[in-house]
Protein backbone atom coordinates (compact mmCIF):
# COMPACT_ATOMS: atom_id res chain seq x y z
CA UNK A 1 0.00 0.00 0.00
CA UNK A 2 1.50 3.32 -1.06
CA UNK A 3 0.44 6.11 1.32
CA UNK A 4 2.15 8.91 -0.57
CA UNK A 5 4.73 8.63 -3.30
CA UNK A 6 7.50 6.24 -2.21
CA UNK A 7 6.12 5.76 1.30
CA UNK A 8 4.61 2.31 1.76
CA UNK A 9 2.76 0.46 4.47
CA UNK A 10 4.43 -2.95 4.71
CA UNK A 11 2.92 -4.07 8.02
CA UNK A 12 0.65 -6.98 8.85
CA UNK A 13 -2.91 -7.33 10.05
CA UNK A 14 -3.30 -9.74 12.96
CA UNK A 15 -7.03 -10.42 12.64
CA UNK A 16 -6.93 -13.32 15.08
CA UNK A 17 -5.18 -11.71 18.02
CA UNK A 18 -7.58 -11.63 20.95
CA UNK A 19 -5.41 -10.60 23.89
CA UNK A 20 -2.55 -8.16 24.40
CA UNK A 21 -0.03 -8.15 27.27
CA UNK A 22 -1.87 -11.25 28.55
CA UNK A 23 -4.39 -8.76 29.87
CA UNK A 24 -6.24 -6.63 27.35
CA UNK A 25 -8.95 -8.09 25.13
CA UNK A 26 -8.73 -7.12 21.45
CA UNK A 27 -12.23 -7.58 20.02
CA UNK A 28 -11.13 -6.68 16.49
CA UNK A 29 -7.53 -7.96 16.49
CA UNK A 30 -4.79 -5.45 15.75
CA UNK A 31 -2.19 -4.48 13.19
CA UNK A 32 1.57 -4.07 13.40
CA UNK A 33 2.28 -1.23 11.03
CA UNK A 34 5.69 -1.04 9.47
CA UNK A 35 6.56 1.61 6.88
CA UNK A 36 9.06 1.64 4.07
CA UNK A 37 10.42 4.91 2.70
CA UNK A 38 12.16 4.57 -0.64
CA UNK A 39 14.60 7.27 -1.67
CA UNK A 40 18.29 7.49 -2.46
CA UNK A 41 18.57 5.77 0.89
CA UNK A 42 15.85 3.41 2.08
CA UNK A 43 14.40 3.43 5.58
CA UNK A 44 12.13 0.95 7.33
CA UNK A 45 10.20 2.38 10.25
CA UNK A 46 9.45 -0.16 12.97
CA UNK A 47 8.87 -3.85 12.30
CA UNK A 48 6.28 -6.41 13.36
CA UNK A 49 5.37 -8.87 16.10
CA UNK A 50 7.43 -12.08 16.32
CA UNK A 51 5.95 -14.72 14.06
CA UNK A 52 5.23 -12.31 11.20
CA UNK A 53 8.81 -11.81 9.94
CA UNK A 54 8.22 -13.69 6.68
CA UNK A 55 5.08 -11.70 5.97
CA UNK A 56 7.00 -8.46 6.53
CA UNK A 57 9.71 -9.62 4.15
CA UNK A 58 7.13 -10.60 1.55
CA UNK A 59 5.56 -7.13 1.74
CA UNK A 60 8.91 -5.35 1.51
CA UNK A 61 9.98 -7.49 -1.43
CA UNK A 62 7.01 -6.34 -3.48
CA UNK A 63 8.90 -3.05 -3.59
CA UNK A 64 12.60 -3.85 -3.20
CA UNK A 65 14.98 -6.38 -1.76
CA UNK A 66 15.37 -6.37 2.04
CA UNK A 67 19.15 -6.13 1.54
CA UNK A 68 18.59 -2.63 0.12
CA UNK A 69 17.38 -1.20 3.45
CA UNK A 70 19.88 1.37 4.76
CA UNK A 71 18.19 2.49 7.95
CA UNK A 72 15.96 0.63 10.35
CA UNK A 73 14.20 3.08 12.64
CA UNK A 74 13.24 1.75 16.06
CA UNK A 75 10.74 4.18 17.58
CA UNK A 76 9.97 1.73 20.36
CA UNK A 77 11.66 -1.44 21.57
CA UNK A 78 8.62 -3.52 22.53
CA UNK A 79 8.56 -6.83 20.64
CA UNK A 80 5.31 -6.09 18.77
CA UNK A 81 7.32 -3.49 16.78
CA UNK A 82 10.92 -4.47 17.34
CA UNK A 83 10.55 -8.26 17.28
CA UNK A 84 11.65 -8.57 13.65
CA UNK A 85 14.71 -6.32 14.02
CA UNK A 86 17.24 -9.18 14.24
CA UNK A 87 15.65 -10.73 11.15
CA UNK A 88 15.95 -7.53 9.09
CA UNK A 89 19.48 -6.81 10.33
CA UNK A 90 20.51 -10.33 9.36
CA UNK A 91 19.24 -9.87 5.80
CA UNK A 92 20.69 -6.38 5.28
CA UNK A 93 23.50 -4.02 6.30
CA UNK A 94 20.94 -1.61 7.75
CA UNK A 95 21.89 0.63 10.66
CA UNK A 96 19.46 0.76 13.56
CA UNK A 97 18.39 4.33 14.42
CA UNK A 98 17.12 4.83 17.93
CA UNK A 99 17.47 6.80 21.16
CA UNK A 100 20.28 6.19 23.64
CA UNK A 101 17.94 4.16 25.84
CA UNK A 102 16.70 2.38 22.72
CA UNK A 103 20.23 1.27 21.89
CA UNK A 104 20.55 -0.32 25.32
CA UNK A 105 17.25 -2.15 24.97
CA UNK A 106 18.08 -3.26 21.41
CA UNK A 107 21.23 -4.83 22.79
CA UNK A 108 19.64 -6.55 25.77
CA UNK A 109 16.45 -7.71 24.04
CA UNK A 110 17.63 -8.40 20.52
CA UNK A 111 21.42 -8.63 20.76
CA UNK A 112 21.95 -5.72 18.36
CA UNK A 113 25.67 -4.81 18.51
CA UNK A 114 26.80 -1.22 19.01
CA UNK A 115 28.37 -1.07 15.51
CA UNK A 116 24.96 -1.70 13.92
CA UNK A 117 23.33 1.08 15.95
CA UNK A 118 23.32 4.84 15.55
CA UNK A 119 21.89 6.91 18.39
CA UNK A 120 19.82 9.86 17.17
CA UNK A 121 19.33 12.97 19.27
CA UNK A 122 16.13 14.91 19.85
CA UNK A 123 15.49 17.01 16.73
CA UNK A 124 18.26 15.31 14.75
CA UNK A 125 17.67 14.88 11.03
CA UNK A 126 18.89 12.29 8.57
CA UNK A 127 18.64 12.86 4.86
CA UNK A 128 17.52 10.00 2.65
CA UNK A 129 18.10 12.07 -0.49
CA UNK A 130 15.07 14.16 -1.31
CA UNK A 131 13.28 13.03 1.83
CA UNK A 132 14.34 13.84 5.39
CA UNK A 133 13.71 12.00 8.63
CA UNK A 134 13.49 14.04 11.81
CA UNK A 135 13.57 12.31 15.18
CA UNK A 136 11.57 13.59 18.09
CA UNK A 137 12.30 12.22 21.51
CA UNK A 138 9.09 11.33 23.31
CA UNK A 139 10.15 9.18 26.25
CA UNK A 140 7.83 7.06 28.38
CA UNK A 141 5.14 6.56 25.78
CA UNK A 142 4.95 3.95 27.11
CA UNK A 143 8.50 2.63 27.64
CA UNK A 144 11.53 4.75 28.57
CA UNK A 145 13.15 4.61 25.11
CA UNK A 146 10.28 5.82 22.89
CA UNK A 147 10.61 8.43 20.13
CA UNK A 148 8.65 9.63 17.09
CA UNK A 149 9.86 9.95 13.52
CA UNK A 150 8.67 12.74 11.23
CA UNK A 151 9.00 12.65 7.47
CA UNK A 152 9.57 16.33 6.78
CA UNK A 153 8.70 16.70 3.07
CA UNK A 154 5.53 14.59 3.24
CA UNK A 155 4.52 15.85 6.70
CA UNK A 156 3.95 12.34 7.99
CA UNK A 157 4.31 11.58 11.69
CA UNK A 158 5.26 8.04 12.75
CA UNK A 159 4.51 8.04 16.50
CA UNK A 160 4.59 4.23 16.99
CA UNK A 161 2.25 3.30 19.88
CA UNK A 162 1.17 6.87 20.66
CA UNK A 163 -2.12 7.85 18.94
CA UNK A 164 -2.68 4.28 17.81
CA UNK A 165 -5.46 1.82 18.43
CA UNK A 166 -6.04 -1.91 18.41
CA UNK A 167 -8.17 -2.87 15.46
CA UNK A 168 -7.26 -4.78 12.34
CA UNK A 169 -10.14 -3.13 10.49
CA UNK A 170 -9.69 -0.41 7.92
CA UNK A 171 -6.66 1.12 6.38
CA UNK A 172 -7.53 4.79 6.92
CA UNK A 173 -9.28 6.42 9.88
CA UNK A 174 -12.33 7.41 7.84
CA UNK A 175 -12.96 3.76 7.00
CA UNK A 176 -13.48 2.88 10.67
CA UNK A 177 -16.50 4.78 12.06
CA UNK A 178 -15.78 3.75 15.67
CA UNK A 179 -12.09 4.65 15.55
CA UNK A 180 -12.20 7.14 18.44
CA UNK A 181 -13.85 4.48 20.61
CA UNK A 182 -10.96 2.10 19.86
CA UNK A 183 -8.43 4.86 20.35
CA UNK A 184 -9.95 5.69 23.74
CA UNK A 185 -9.78 2.04 24.84
CA UNK A 186 -6.17 1.96 23.77
CA UNK A 187 -5.31 5.25 25.47
CA UNK A 188 -6.84 3.98 28.71
CA UNK A 189 -4.97 0.69 28.57
CA UNK A 190 -1.55 1.89 27.41
CA UNK A 191 -1.06 5.65 27.64
CA UNK A 192 -3.18 6.88 30.57
CA UNK A 193 -0.56 6.06 33.23
CA UNK A 194 1.84 8.32 31.28
CA UNK A 195 -0.54 11.21 30.74
CA UNK A 196 2.06 13.80 31.72
CA UNK A 197 4.57 12.50 29.22
CA UNK A 198 1.77 12.44 26.67
CA UNK A 199 1.04 16.08 27.41
CA UNK A 200 4.68 16.99 26.78
CA UNK A 201 4.69 15.04 23.53
CA UNK A 202 1.51 16.82 22.39
CA UNK A 203 3.27 20.13 22.96
CA UNK A 204 6.15 19.05 20.72
CA UNK A 205 3.70 17.94 18.04
CA UNK A 206 2.19 21.42 17.97
CA UNK A 207 5.42 22.64 16.37
CA UNK A 208 4.99 20.28 13.43
CA UNK A 209 2.77 20.51 10.38
CA UNK A 210 1.12 17.12 10.21
CA UNK A 211 -0.85 15.90 7.21
CA UNK A 212 -0.82 12.20 8.03
CA UNK A 213 -0.32 10.25 11.24
CA UNK A 214 0.94 6.75 10.64
CA UNK A 215 0.94 4.91 13.97
CA UNK A 216 2.12 1.37 14.54
CA UNK A 217 -1.30 -0.06 15.46
CA UNK A 218 -4.61 0.54 13.75
CA UNK A 219 -5.58 2.73 10.81
CA UNK A 220 -3.53 5.59 9.37
CA UNK A 221 -5.03 9.00 10.04
CA UNK A 222 -5.31 11.05 6.89
CA UNK A 223 -7.55 13.34 8.98
CA UNK A 224 -5.28 13.88 11.98
CA UNK A 225 -7.40 16.56 13.70
CA UNK A 226 -9.89 14.24 15.38
CA UNK A 227 -7.37 12.02 17.10
CA UNK A 228 -5.18 14.99 18.03
CA UNK A 229 -8.10 16.83 19.62
CA UNK A 230 -9.12 13.66 21.50
CA UNK A 231 -5.56 13.29 22.83
CA UNK A 232 -5.55 16.97 23.70
CA UNK A 233 -8.35 16.22 26.18
CA UNK A 234 -7.22 12.81 27.36
CA UNK A 235 -3.61 13.80 28.09
CA UNK A 236 -4.68 16.71 30.29
CA UNK A 237 -7.20 14.49 32.08
CA UNK A 238 -10.30 16.35 30.95
CA UNK A 239 -13.26 14.46 32.40
CA UNK A 240 -16.99 14.41 31.72
CA UNK A 241 -20.04 14.43 33.99
CA UNK A 242 -19.57 10.72 34.15
CA UNK A 243 -19.30 8.02 36.79
CA UNK A 244 -17.87 4.57 36.29
CA UNK A 245 -19.34 1.84 38.48
CA UNK A 246 -17.19 -1.23 39.01
CA UNK A 247 -18.38 -4.03 41.24
CA UNK A 248 -18.50 -7.71 42.14
CA UNK A 249 -21.42 -9.35 43.84
CA UNK A 250 -22.12 -13.02 44.57
CA UNK A 251 -25.65 -12.89 45.99
CA UNK A 252 -26.85 -9.50 44.87
CA UNK A 253 -26.43 -7.39 48.03
CA UNK A 254 -23.60 -5.23 46.69
CA UNK A 255 -25.30 -5.18 43.32
CA UNK A 256 -28.48 -3.77 44.85
CA UNK A 257 -26.47 -0.92 46.33
CA UNK A 258 -24.52 -0.02 43.21
CA UNK A 259 -27.66 -0.24 41.07
CA UNK A 260 -29.47 2.20 43.35
CA UNK A 261 -26.57 4.65 43.06
CA UNK A 262 -26.45 4.22 39.27
CA UNK A 263 -30.20 4.89 38.96
CA UNK A 264 -29.97 8.07 40.99
CA UNK A 265 -26.96 9.32 39.04
CA UNK A 266 -28.83 8.73 35.79
CA UNK A 267 -31.92 10.53 37.06
CA UNK A 268 -29.66 13.45 38.01
CA UNK A 269 -28.38 13.68 34.44
CA UNK A 270 -25.01 12.04 35.04
CA UNK A 271 -23.52 9.69 32.46
CA UNK A 272 -23.04 6.23 33.99
CA UNK A 273 -21.06 3.17 32.89
CA UNK A 274 -21.66 0.04 34.97
CA UNK A 275 -19.25 -2.89 34.91
CA UNK A 276 -19.99 -6.18 36.62
CA UNK A 277 -16.53 -7.63 37.12
CA UNK A 278 -17.74 -11.20 36.74
CA UNK A 279 -17.77 -10.69 32.98
CA UNK A 280 -16.49 -7.15 32.35
CA UNK A 281 -14.14 -6.39 29.46
CA UNK A 282 -11.06 -4.72 30.97
CA UNK A 283 -10.57 -2.65 27.84
CA UNK A 284 -14.04 -1.23 28.32
CA UNK A 285 -13.24 -0.31 31.93
CA UNK A 286 -9.99 1.34 30.84
CA UNK A 287 -11.90 3.30 28.19
CA UNK A 288 -14.44 4.57 30.73
CA UNK A 289 -11.69 5.51 33.18
CA UNK A 290 -10.23 7.93 30.63
CA UNK A 291 -13.04 10.46 31.00
CA UNK A 292 -14.95 9.57 34.19
CA UNK A 293 -14.99 12.11 37.00
CA UNK A 294 -16.32 9.73 39.63
CA UNK A 295 -16.08 6.07 40.54
CA UNK A 296 -18.29 3.73 42.57
CA UNK A 297 -16.55 0.59 43.76
CA UNK A 298 -18.52 -2.31 45.17
CA UNK A 299 -17.36 -5.59 46.64
CA UNK A 300 -18.59 -8.13 49.15
CA UNK A 301 -16.28 -9.59 51.76
CA UNK A 302 -14.79 -12.89 50.70
CA UNK A 303 -12.55 -14.77 53.13
CA UNK A 304 -11.87 -11.70 55.23
CA UNK A 305 -11.13 -9.25 52.41
CA UNK A 306 -12.31 -7.95 49.06
CA UNK A 307 -13.66 -10.30 46.42
CA UNK A 308 -10.50 -11.36 44.50
CA UNK A 309 -11.82 -10.01 41.22
CA UNK A 310 -12.50 -6.62 42.84
CA UNK A 311 -9.02 -6.68 44.34
CA UNK A 312 -7.64 -7.17 40.85
CA UNK A 313 -9.84 -4.41 39.44
CA UNK A 314 -8.85 -1.87 42.11
CA UNK A 315 -5.14 -2.61 41.58
CA UNK A 316 -5.67 -2.06 37.88
CA UNK A 317 -7.54 1.22 38.44
CA UNK A 318 -4.71 2.42 40.65
CA UNK A 319 -2.04 1.41 38.16
CA UNK A 320 -3.78 3.14 35.25
CA UNK A 321 -3.82 6.46 37.14
CA UNK A 322 -7.11 7.78 35.78
CA UNK A 323 -8.13 11.42 36.34
CA UNK A 324 -10.93 10.48 38.81
CA UNK A 325 -11.88 13.09 41.40
CA UNK A 326 -14.65 11.55 43.51
CA UNK A 327 -15.31 8.06 44.81
CA UNK A 328 -17.84 6.00 46.70
CA UNK A 329 -17.27 2.50 48.09
CA UNK A 330 -19.99 0.03 49.03
CA UNK A 331 -19.71 -3.43 50.51
CA UNK A 332 -21.71 -6.25 52.02
CA UNK A 333 -20.51 -8.88 54.46
CA UNK A 334 -21.94 -11.89 56.25
CA UNK A 335 -20.31 -12.01 59.68
CA UNK A 336 -17.10 -10.08 60.39
CA UNK A 337 -16.42 -8.18 57.15
CA UNK A 338 -13.00 -6.92 56.06
CA UNK A 339 -13.52 -5.79 52.46
CA UNK A 340 -14.23 -2.15 53.31
CA UNK A 341 -11.11 -1.83 55.42
CA UNK A 342 -9.03 -3.18 52.55
CA UNK A 343 -10.64 -1.03 49.87
CA UNK A 344 -10.18 2.10 52.01
CA UNK A 345 -6.51 1.29 52.48
CA UNK A 346 -6.07 0.80 48.77
CA UNK A 347 -7.83 4.02 47.83
CA UNK A 348 -6.21 6.27 50.43
CA UNK A 349 -3.01 7.02 48.46
CA UNK A 350 -5.09 8.04 45.43
CA UNK A 351 -6.09 11.66 44.94
CA UNK A 352 -9.80 10.79 45.10
CA UNK A 353 -12.21 12.49 47.44
CA UNK A 354 -14.21 9.66 49.03
CA UNK A 355 -17.77 10.88 49.49
CA UNK A 356 -19.06 7.80 51.22
CA UNK A 357 -18.14 4.28 52.34
CA UNK A 358 -21.15 2.13 53.11
CA UNK A 359 -20.74 -1.32 54.57
CA UNK A 360 -23.82 -3.41 55.33
CA UNK A 361 -24.46 -6.80 56.87
CA UNK A 362 -26.33 -8.95 54.37
CA UNK A 363 -28.81 -7.03 52.25
CA UNK A 364 -29.13 -3.26 52.70
CA UNK A 365 -31.90 -2.10 55.05
CA UNK A 366 -34.24 0.79 54.21
CA UNK A 367 -31.99 2.95 56.38
CA UNK A 368 -28.92 1.88 54.37
CA UNK A 369 -30.74 2.62 51.12
CA UNK A 370 -31.62 6.08 52.36
CA UNK A 371 -27.98 6.71 53.19
CA UNK A 372 -26.97 5.49 49.72
CA UNK A 373 -29.51 7.83 48.10
CA UNK A 374 -28.00 10.78 49.95
CA UNK A 375 -24.47 9.79 48.93
CA UNK A 376 -25.52 9.25 45.31
CA UNK A 377 -27.09 12.72 45.20
CA UNK A 378 -23.94 14.25 46.63
CA UNK A 379 -21.83 12.40 44.07
CA UNK A 380 -24.12 13.67 41.30
CA UNK A 381 -23.75 17.25 42.53
CA UNK A 382 -19.97 16.95 42.73
CA UNK A 383 -19.49 15.49 39.25
CA UNK A 384 -21.87 18.06 37.78
CA UNK A 385 -20.18 20.88 39.64
C1 LIG B 1 -17.01 -17.68 49.26
C2 LIG B 1 -17.51 -16.72 50.29
C3 LIG B 1 -16.67 -16.24 51.26
C4 LIG B 1 -17.11 -15.31 52.22
N5 LIG B 1 -16.25 -14.84 53.15
C6 LIG B 1 -16.68 -13.95 54.10
C7 LIG B 1 -15.81 -13.45 55.12
O8 LIG B 1 -14.65 -13.84 55.20
N9 LIG B 1 -16.27 -12.54 56.00
C10 LIG B 1 -17.56 -12.10 55.96
O11 LIG B 1 -17.95 -11.25 56.78
N12 LIG B 1 -18.45 -12.54 55.01
C13 LIG B 1 -18.03 -13.47 54.09
N14 LIG B 1 -18.89 -13.95 53.14
C15 LIG B 1 -20.29 -13.50 53.17
C16 LIG B 1 -20.57 -12.41 52.15
O17 LIG B 1 -19.71 -11.31 52.38
C18 LIG B 1 -22.03 -11.96 52.27
O19 LIG B 1 -22.86 -13.05 51.89
C20 LIG B 1 -22.37 -10.72 51.46
O21 LIG B 1 -23.67 -10.29 51.83
C22 LIG B 1 -22.35 -11.01 49.96
O23 LIG B 1 -22.59 -9.85 49.24
P24 LIG B 1 -23.09 -10.00 47.73
O25 LIG B 1 -24.52 -10.41 47.76
O26 LIG B 1 -22.88 -8.63 47.16
O27 LIG B 1 -22.24 -11.04 47.10
C28 LIG B 1 -18.46 -14.88 52.19
C29 LIG B 1 -19.32 -15.38 51.20
C30 LIG B 1 -18.87 -16.30 50.26
C31 LIG B 1 -19.82 -16.81 49.21
FE1 LIG C 1 4.28 -0.68 23.22
FE1 LIG D 1 2.59 -1.58 20.34
Of 220, 236, 252, which closes a domain?
Answer: 236
Q: What angle do CA 308, 314, 317 make, to 5 degrees?
A: 145
Rounded CA-CA distance 165/167 in Å is: 6
Q: Which of 202, 236, 270 is the last residue of a domain?
A: 236
- Alpha-helical (H) ranges within the chain are 53-60, 79-82, 85-91, 100-110, 179-186, 195-206, 224-236, 253-267, 282-291, 308-320, 339-347, 366-384
Interval 19-42 mean pLDDT: 97
User: Are 228 and 369 contained in the same domain?
Assistant: no
Same domain, 232 and 283: no
Mean pLDDT of all residues in 81-102: 98
Residue numbers of the domain that contains 81: 2-236
How buried is residue 315: exposed, middle or buried, by Cβ count under 10 Å (0-12/13-18/19+)? exposed
Q: Give the domain CATH number at 248.
A: 3.40.50.360
CA distance 10 to 33: 7
The bound ligand whose nearest atom lies closest to the alpha carbon of 191 is: 2
Q: Are 247 and 354 a contacting pair, CB within 8 Å?
A: no
**Domain identity same for 161 and 285:** no
Ligand 1 neighbour 85 (Cβ under 6 A):
no
Cβ of 303 less than 6 Å from ligand 1? yes
Whether 191 and 265 share a structural domain: no
Give the closest ligand to the alpha carbon of residue 80. Answer: 3
Number of domains in the chain: 2
Q: Which of 327, 348, 343, 341 minimizes the C-alpha distance to 261?
A: 327
Together in a domain, 221 and 341: no
Would the CB of 308 count as within 6 Å of ligand 1?
A: no
Q: Is the CB of 278 under 6 A from ligand 1?
A: no
One domain, residues 70 and 155: yes
Q: Is 337 in the pocket of ligand 1 (CB under 6 A)?
A: yes
Query: pLDDT at position 104, please?
Result: 98
Alpha carbon distance 68, 77 (integer Å): 23
Residue 252 CA to ligand 1 centre (angstroms)? 11
User: 315 and 211 in one domain?
Assistant: no
**How does 90-108 read in b/e, with b if 16+ C-beta sit within 10 Å?**
eebebbbbbbebbbbbbee
How much is the pLDDT for 148?
Answer: 98
The DSSP result for 186-205, as a single string, is: HIIIIIGGGHHHHHHHHHHH
Q: What is the pLDDT of residue 15?
A: 98
Closest residue CA from atom 4 of ligand 1: 302
Confidence of residue 16 (pLDDT cuts 50, 70, 90): very high
Cβ–Cβ < 8 Å for 34, 48? yes
Among 311, 334, 360, name the best residue to mutate to test ligand 1's pocket (greatest count of ligand atoms within 8 A of Cβ).
334
Which of 300, 308, 338, 372 gets mutated to test ligand 1 (max ligand atoms within 8 A of its CB)? Answer: 300
Q: Which of 208, 236, 264 is the last residue of a domain?
A: 236
What is residue 261's three-state secondary structure?
helix
Q: Is the backbone of residue 360 left (phi > 0), alpha (psi -120 to 50) or beta?
A: beta
205 plus 256 within the same structural domain:
no
Shortest-distance Cα residue to atom 19 of ligand 1: 334
Nearest atom (ligand 1) to Cα of 255: 26
pLDDT in tens, 171-193: 999 999 999 999 999 999 999 99
Of the ligands numbered here, which is closest to the C-alpha atom of 342?
1
pTM of this structure: 0.96
pLDDT tens for 313-350 read 999 999 999 999 999 999 999 999 999 999 999 999 99
Question: How far apart are the CA of 295 and the centre of ligand 2, in A?
Answer: 28
pLDDT digits (tens, 9 = 90+) for 226-261: 999 999 999 999 999 999 999 999 999 999 999 999
Atom number in ligand 1 closest to CA 301: 17
What CATH number has the domain bearing residue 12? Answer: 3.60.15.10
Ligand that lies nearest to the alpha carbon of residue 259, given by its number in the listed order: 1
Amino acid sequence: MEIVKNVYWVGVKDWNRRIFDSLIPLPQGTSYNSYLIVNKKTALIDTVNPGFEEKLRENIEKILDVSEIDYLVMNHAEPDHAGAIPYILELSDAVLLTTEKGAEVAKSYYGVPKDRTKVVGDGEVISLGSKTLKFIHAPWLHWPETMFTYLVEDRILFPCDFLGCHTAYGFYDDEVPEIIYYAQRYFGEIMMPFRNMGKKAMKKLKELEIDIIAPSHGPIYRNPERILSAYEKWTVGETRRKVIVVYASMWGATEKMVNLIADILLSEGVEVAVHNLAFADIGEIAKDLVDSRGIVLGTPTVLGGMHPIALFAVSLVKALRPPLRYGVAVSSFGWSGGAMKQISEMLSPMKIEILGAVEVKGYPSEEDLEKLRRIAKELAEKVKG
